[in-house]
Structure 1
């Protein structure tokens, strides 16, 4: 089983929102994602989707967007992003998702020898916009990350490969340590994925943290092609 990843799908079939306001490269982006997805992903592959999946505000509308993703090859694992306002309680979401589509929240899931965990994350101290309200969310998300990593450890074995999904990057542009990177150091997942950053050149992104590979998988950065993470 191969593992692919792509974040920030920003689908808007139910609630139209032109993404070209963020640049001309977004023109027709759903079709670009779907076409390239079908080119590289097989039915027995795993595709990780770390956040900002749909612009919908309510679950029924989001399911209209997710239904297009569900029709694509592979098993899909969803994580909440900062724009996924439609995301309900995890029990309600899991009961509503189409077959072959799963969600991670404060826990972990195992698919064969691959264990997937993660949380949304948030702005980190030192960020220009970081304020008192952000501090509360930052500490809360760090605790959620701990819970998810603990769950992943319980599912892991000698031959498992643990992948940590975040929506926000685990650290800022200066790559200073944070509560998120402290937990990465403590639990040592095999790989870290994150999205959220648009238009950032890959050479300026976090690509490794203390020996652990890190991947920026925002859709536009990947030119809308899912990235192969595990062969």
Structure 2
């Protein structure tokens, strides 16, 4: 069993939301993603999808996008992004999966999962202090997301893992924020690898990748990966 990751699927099978306005890479992206996924991922594998999964506004509108995901090989662990307006409480999300008989999808929210002998942890994250658009009202959300990351990592304490991996939607640090509480939490718990999405187009140029304060950072937004799930752990 292998572990893959890819963020920012931005599926729009239930609504009219063309993505090619964000660049040529998004032309026919859902078909491209499907073909690449089928060629890359086996049914015994796990794929982490950290946020911006569907453009649907409400959970009632997400069916076609979830059916698309369900039909793809592997188990999928989904966490929240800033455009996942359909996201609701964990109990309602899990009830929806059960009602629609989606058996290959799970949600990560204040919890963690085991994949092979790796603990899968993470949270949405948020913009960080020091960024140009960080305002007073962002501070509460930022602090809450730091707490959610802590909860997720702590929930894996009793799991017999060889490594804990963190997946976030927002980058845990940017060139302008210098550092962040997300980095502090990961260092506190000995996390050495973190994967994130959110950045597209010109924003990709500002991505921090490689080792940062002892943590290996990797951007995994779908367009950056050319819609090919990235292998994290290969067996």
TM-score by length of 1: 0.94
Partner of 2:78: 78
CA deviation after TM superposition for structure 1 residue 205, in Å = 2.7
2:175, 2:206 within 8 Å by CA — same for their partners in 1? no
Query: Please, which runs of 5 or more residues in structure 2 have no aligned partner?
Result: none
Per-residue displacement from partner, 1:79-126 (whole Å, max 9, x unpaired)? Answer: 000000001111111222210111100111123312111110000001
Q: Distance in 2 between matches of 1:119 and 1:201?
A: 20
1:124, 1:130 within 8 Å by CA — same for their partners in 2? yes
1:166 corresponds to which of 165, 168, 173? 168
Partner of 2:190: 188
Q: Distance in 2 between matches of 1:35 and 1:70?
A: 14
Structure 1 runs, 4 residues or longer, greater than 3 Å off: 200-204
TM-score by length of 2: 0.92
Q: Distance in 2 between matches of 1:169 and 1:65?
A: 25
Partner of 2:226: 223
Map 1:21-170 to 2 at 5 A.
21-97=21-97, 98-155=102-159, 157=160, 159-170=161-172
CA deviation after TM superposition for structure 1 residue 40, in Å = 0.7
2:131, 2:176 within 8 Å by CA — same for their partners in 1? no
Task: Tell me the SS of whatever aligns to 1:153.
Answer: coil
1:202, 1:221 within 8 Å by CA — same for their partners in 2? no
Q: Distance in 1 between matches of 2:12 and 2:206?
A: 30
Q: Distance in 1 between matches of 2:108 and 2:93?
A: 10
Per-residue displacement from partner, 1:4-52 (whole Å, max 9, x unpaired)? Answer: 0000000001012011111121111111111000111011111000000
Higher mean alpha-carbon deviation, 165-174 vs 196-205, is at: 196-205
Q: Distance in 2 between matches of 1:31 and 1:46?
A: 20
Per-residue displacement from partner, 1:49-93 (whole Å, max 9, x unpaired)? Answer: 000000001112112201101101111000000000001111111
CA deviation after TM superposition for structure 1 residue 202, in Å = 7.2
Task: Tell me the SS of whatever aligns to 2:158.
Answer: helix
Q: Distance in 2 between matches of 1:89 and 1:109?
A: 18
Task: Tell me the SS of whatever aligns to 1:132.
Answer: coil
Query: Please, which runs of 5 or more residues in structure 1 have no aligned partner?
Result: none
Task: Tell me the SS of whatever aligns to 2:62.
Answer: helix
